[in-house]
Structure 1
Amino acid sequence: MEPQTYRNVSTKSEMVTELRELAEGAEDIYAFQGPREFVPELADALEAAHDRGVLVLLLLADEDPESLTGQSYPATAVRQWNPQGPVVTSAMVDYVSGFVTDAQFDDYGGDGRALAYHDRYFGGMHLTSLILNYWREGREVFTADPKPLPREYESFYHAVIDTAKHLRDDRDLYARVCGRRKRNDEPETITGPVVNVRQNIIYPITNSMPSENSLFLETDGGQISIGGPSSELEDLRAEDVELFEGSVVNS
């Protein structure tokens, strides 16, 4: 079993260092919520993560949504959040590592209320809580353009978000998906036009259930639903996704 570790973060400078190191080590997803003042401190690490294909989600606390619009960010998607109480600052990386505190950055006195962790079970709950409890309450202020196609994704989450962006711009998409059938866990590769996407990250949010992030492909055998590697509802659990624009998938 993967080791689980927890440790207190004692100073404000250690907070920033922890958040930067999490971004620098991210391979799949970096999800952050907290005051907008953190962004300049983390900008270069976030930009580098985004450039290497990490899905970077920023939920920034600010009472004035207009102050966050009309500018670009080192991120895949950014939402503005107007908390009704103390601001929670947290980051989750690759579903396994993260940082969380309800202490306020400007007056943090090292009282043990800031925690860095490495725990796959807690990391999964952390991301679910951020998306379901906070992200949907935010207002979208920025989404980055998706990378040019064709493109191969190891991160199913990132493939879903880029698909939603391409479909939002009325592009015709095809996909090749390698994964395993839910019913028998047998490996399978399917190819076909992308006819729908359901997701809960960018506008318009289209999921029919709280944690649903799914692609739908039309095949000779009918429509196939595709979820992530641990999905329980969709027909196919994706391991790799390749997206193409146009009506023909390249060989």
Structure 2
Amino acid sequence: MAEDSRLTKTMTGAQDDPALRDELSVFGLSDTEIDTYLALLSLGEAPTRAVAEEADVTQRAVYGIAERLERRGLVRVKEHASPTTISALPPKEAIANLSSRLEALTPSLEERFEQTTTEAPEIQIIKSRETVLKRLRNALSEAETEALVAIPDHVYPEIEAELRAAVDRGVLVFLLLGETVDPDDDTRDFTGVADVVRSWDASIPFLYTVDNEAAMIGDPHVLSMQHNDKEAVTISQPHLTSSVLGMYLSAYWPVSTIRHVTEPDSLPASYDWFREAVLQAFLHWEAGHDFWADIVTESGAELSGKVSDVRQAFVEPSTNDFTLETSLHLETDDGEVSVGGPGAFIEDYRAEAVTLRFE
């Protein structure tokens, strides 16, 4: 392919070439993985210490990065050598490996494309504050797995009961409050209202998304008490809802202030919603617990292993390498594997169900 040829040629360029780094990131490589891979292209075969110095990462990190690069078909790790050495595969061979993985997705993607209909997405414009508030309350009351809500702080008392009821039903709830007078005020108790609450003193667009199936987004002042001409738009197409959710989690969520984080669940605990499993795994990880995960994947394969890493940006500190990365890493009998949720394409597996447990 022309893209492959162009990238193969540029892979012999300088390590700081921004165009080269951008093209490698398209294949899902993080900044540290790109640094390490480019270092290996310059060094040829080298021990881990030399790679660490060239890439400006820790030697310990090099081992994990090398394993991930090897799984992508970019490098070869000689673990039986003393010391362990790593070498980059020839660029043409590496690009061929990446291309084959992308081409393997073609049948599934084409099948999904052919199943789409010509029906227009169900989108409605709403101008009434009462209707917007009623839709929000109904959405929270009908939520089964997850709800993300972003509202002006003054609206919070009007939906607090629905938020509590959703949490009581086991719904994963993320709440973002805008226009807060004091975003650092820690005297308010949000226990039982949401799993994670964040706030910001700025005005933010009003939003809710529920179960990745329905969403509403609008001007922040659509919920103002006084009459105005502001609007909100409802969306009932899953792919559009996911896009709206992703925009908020990447643009508004990280810059707000943490106000409340739920306590870790007692283990063992099982989860059908992957983001909830990742959040709970991170809470146990931060608490210093050693714990294991049993995962049923989309393909039906079953994975079990000690949780070795959790990538997320729901709570601080963020541990993801790139925007919206949400994954679990397990130490299995076959080595470390990465697991993402539905639609994941960088991780090794996609999870259907997750059970977290102590050994």
TM-score calculated relative to the size of structure 2: 0.63
1:176 Cα deviation (Å)?
A: 0.3
* Structure 1 pair 107–87 and aligned structure 2 pair: CA distance change class (3 A): farther
Instruction: Pick which of 69-78 and 25-34 moved more.
Output: 69-78
Tell me what 1:232 maps to: 345
Secondary structure of the equivalent of 1:14? helix
- Between the aligned residues of both structures, percent identity stands at 30
Candidates 162, 165, 168, aligned match of 1:45:
162
SS at 2:356 equivalent: strand
Q: How does 1:12-161 map onto structure 2 within 5 Å?
A: 12-61=129-178, 62-67=180-185, 69-73=187-191, 74-83=193-202, 86-104=203-221, 105-106=223-224, 109=227, 111=229, 113-161=231-279
Q: Which has the higher contact order (CA 8 A, sep 6+)?
A: 1
Structure 2 spans left out of the alignment, 5+ residues: 1-115
Q: TM-score, normalised by structure 1?
A: 0.89
Q: Quick check: 1:216 aligned with 2:333?
A: no
Unaligned stretches of 5+ in structure 1?
A: 181-185
Tell me the residue number matched to 2:305. Answer: 192
Larger radius of gyration, structure 1 or 2? 2
Structure 2 distance, partners of 1:187, 1:69, is 47
Deviations 1:83-105 (Å, cap 9, x if unpaired)? 2xx43111111122111111512
| Aligned match of 1:183 | none
Question: For 2:274 and 2:204, how far apart are their aligned partners in 1?
Answer: 30
Larger CA deviation: 69-78 vs 156-165: 69-78
The separation in 2 between residues aligned to 1:124 and 1:189, in whole angstroms, is 27
- CA displacement at 1:202 relative to structure 2: 0.7
Rounded to whole Å, the distance in 2 between the matches of 1:21 and 1:148 is 30
Distance 1:214 1:103, change over 3 A: closer
Amino acid at match of 1:231: A
SS of alignment partner, residue 323 of structure 2:
coil
Q: How far apart are residue 132 of structure 1 and its match? A: 0.5
Instruction: Give the aligned length.
Output: 239
Q: Using the alignment, how far apart are the partners of 1:191 and 1:92 within structure 2?
A: 32
Partners of 2:283 and 2:144 in 1: CA distance? 21
| Cα contact 2:174–2:194 (8 A) shared by 1 | yes
Q: Secondary structure at the match of 1:187?
A: coil
Distance apart, 1:69 and its partner CA: 4.6
Measure the CA separation in 1 of the matches of 2:337 and 2:305. Answer: 9
More helix by share: 2
- Alignment correspondent of 1:204: 317
1:176–1:241 CA contact under 8 A, matched in 2: yes
The residue type equivalent to 1:155 in the other structure is: W
